[in-house]
Amino acid sequence: MLSASHLAALLPEVICLAKEAGRAILQVYERGDLGTTYKEDQSPLTDADLASHRLIQQGLHDLDASIPLLSEESKEMAYAQRQDWTDFWLVDPLDGTKEFIKRNGQFTVNIALISKGSPCLGVVHAPVMQTTYWGTSGLGAFKQNQEADPQPIRVGQRQDVLKVVASRSHAGVETEVFLQKLQVAWTGEVELLSMGSSLKLCLVADGQADLYPRFGP
């Protein structure tokens, strides 16, 4: 595992990089034509995905060229090539492309550092909301709104009201069945929140939601 001092040195650079990628995404977001195409699995791909990918790829290489990168928008890399990686960057340059296309603001830039099979540093930036979340092993987790001082976050305490956050674009039959069973089993109130992209996980991390069921791949 990378040392806490190494992670502390990397973190401000990665936060700045995520915000820079967010600005590149917004340049496309504000255009009329998003340059949308579709991958083999029919998931959408826009000019913003590619612009963010290229910026993050170059930025992480400049930060530490010894750490390889696995990105949502990288050309497919065989497992045989990466199975022995000890440390690597795991990136989704634009998480929530469907939300981006709908222009509802619920998309993020996700950058994580994996060391010996475990995440040790992560940054999630929501460009439209101007909100950034980050955490590192041993140094805690934080949330920053715009340029305000970062605030420490933690998961919520159990209450009578169970707040469940679900995907806007990927809620399927399994999720609906789970929620129906939960409504019956939970003795208190169940409140449903709808949110896109990795923001669902961030709502759990900062205590705004208690549970995020996910049955998709």
Whether the per-residue pLDDT at 88 is higher than 70: the answer is: yes
Chain mean pLDDT for the chain? 91
Alpha-carbon distance of 161 to 167, in angstroms, equals: 19
Alpha-carbon distance of 129 to 135, in angstroms, equals: 19
pTM: 0.91
* pLDDT at res. 56: 97
List the end-to-end C-alpha distance of the chain, in Å, as a whole number: 28
Do the Cβ atoms of 115 and 87 come closer than 8 Å?
A: yes
27-45: pLDDT as tens digits: 999 988 888 888 877 788 8
CA angle 172, 176, 181 (to 5 degrees): 150
